[in-house]
Amino acid sequence: MKRLALISLGLALGLTAPISQAQEYVIKFSHVVAATAPKGRAADLFAAKVNEKLKGKVRVEVYPNSQLYNDDKVMEAMRLSSSKTTGILAAPSLSKFVKLSSNLQAFDIPFLFDNMDDVHKLVDSPLVEKMTKPMESKGVKALTFWDNGMKVFSVKGDKPLRAVPDDFKGKKFRIQSSDVHEAMIRAMGGTPQKLPFKEVYTALGQGVVDGQENTWSNIYSKKFHEVQDYISVSNHGYLGYLLVVSSDFWNGLPEDIRNELTAILKEVTVEGRKFAAEADHEDRVAVEKAGFAKVVELTSAERKQWKAANASLEKQFASEIGEDLLKDIHKLLGN
């Protein structure tokens, strides 16, 4: 009775503890490119949509240009974090996920995709769920795929990259941390050198490497064209990103918030594809207008020569990627 009386008195005097406010979750979105690049624009759009629709529930903070982590460190930080309220979201290039799922090496195979329509056929198919599923047992949840575009080759020297292997011989090329990319450069006669993205401009300018492969948006936004002499329009491979988050953090979110975030990601993925397509055209035009590097179109015969030089790579990595998976991909793409 005394306890009830004290509670009643507390209510009358307004001395009871205030009702706790709903938990606000913080998502730190770390990426390595400029805010103006397709991934940067998509990241900012995602943050804007979440911060508006889920105000007070979820707040997204974006850190471009490796301000928070580079792509190698971010995965480690994500997996080691034990916070239930602050999560790390990242969108490294697909080449970064080999240790988590060797199936994803399929995206690195040169000339697997003829164009972006082929890429979208794969990333919109159930096959990608098989490719990303192994990551979950390692604490990483795959959320969606974002585009950058098809890659071209640039080089510093007295002639463009046309003939394979002659024009690649004696030259060093920066590559991502990908065994497939390493094998590709060797197959075409060059010497591969793995370097973090943020070091590429300096490496090109100082002659640490002679050339690199990248998309138009990355070449323009990072000014690679200013320290290169030629760009060969090879469209030999796809550069895309996989949005990932800690499985523990994602699964710990309330179901309604997970559903809201998933819906927003779908919207942003559609817009992100538009950003990438725009940049593919507009940044190429900007590079050409800048006049630093001469843009060279490969002939049909030259492109066939490049493709032939890389023909053995799929077989070389088939056991790691999965022979049945590769067959399913070719069936899906009709090639």
The whole-number mean pLDDT for each consecutive block of 10 residues of the chain, a chain of 335 residues, reads 43 42 89 93 98 98 94 89 95 93 97 97 97 95 97 98 98 96 98 95 98 96 97 97 97 97 98 97 98 97 97 97 98 95
Tell me, yes or no, whether 16 lies in a domain. Answer: no
184 within some domain: yes
Residues 41-70 pLDDT 10s: 999 999 999 999 999 999 999 999 999 998
* Co-location of 303 and 159 in the same domain: yes
Parent domain of 313: 152-237+290-333
Around Cβ 114, how many Cβ atoms within 10 Å? 13
Same domain (yes/no): 162, 307: yes
DSSP-derived 3-state class of residue 29: strand
Residue 212 in any domain: the answer is yes
233 plus 246 within the same structural domain: no
Q: What is the structure's pLDDT at 92?
A: 95
Question: Does 195 share its domain with 229?
Answer: yes
Same domain, 309 and 183: yes
Least Cα distance to 269 among 281, 280, 261 occurs for 261
Together in a domain, 183 and 318: yes
Q: Does residue 230 sit in the same domain as residue 252?
A: no
Same domain, 260 and 140: yes
Please give the C-alpha separations between residue 280 and each of 124, 150, 268, 307, in angstroms, as whole numbers. Answer: 21, 8, 18, 22
Question: Using omega within 30 degrees of 0 as the cis cutoff, is the peptide bond preceding 192 cis?
Answer: no
How many domains does the chain contain in total?
A: 2
- Angle, in degrees to the nearest 10, between helices 255-290 and 38-53: 150
Q: What is the pLDDT of residue 79?
A: 86
pTM: 0.89
Strands (E), the chain: 25-30, 58-63, 86-90, 140-150, 152-155, 172-175, 191-194, 211-214, 230-233, 238-246, 294-297
- Which residue bears the tokens 């994803």? 104
State whether 212 and 123 are in the same domain. Answer: no
Write down the pLDDT at residue 21.
Answer: 52
Asked if 320 and 184 sit in the same domain, the reply is yes
Where among 270, 285, 300 does a domain terminate?
A: 285
Is residue 175 in a domain?
A: yes
> Which single residue is written with the structure tokens 């930080």?
77
Task: Tell whether 119 and 224 lie within a shared domain.
Answer: no
In whole angstroms, what is the distance from residue 183 CA to residue 180 CA?
5
Does 276 fall in a domain? yes
CATH of the domain at 271: 3.40.190.170
Phi, psi (rounded to 5 degrees) for 218: -70, -40
Query: Which distant-in-sequence residues (6+ apart) come within 8 Å of 318 by Cβ?
Result: 326
Give the integer Cα–Cα distance in Å for 262 and 6. Answer: 47
pLDDT of residue 185: 98
Give the pLDDT confidence of 201-224 residue by residue, as tens digits: 999 999 999 999 999 999 999 999
Instruction: Identify whether 325 is part of a domain.
Output: yes
DSSP 177: S
Has residue 1 been placed in a domain? no
- 44 domain residue, yes or no: yes
How high is the pLDDT of residue 276? 97
Residues 194 and 267 in one domain: no
332: nearest Cα among 184, 114, 96: 114
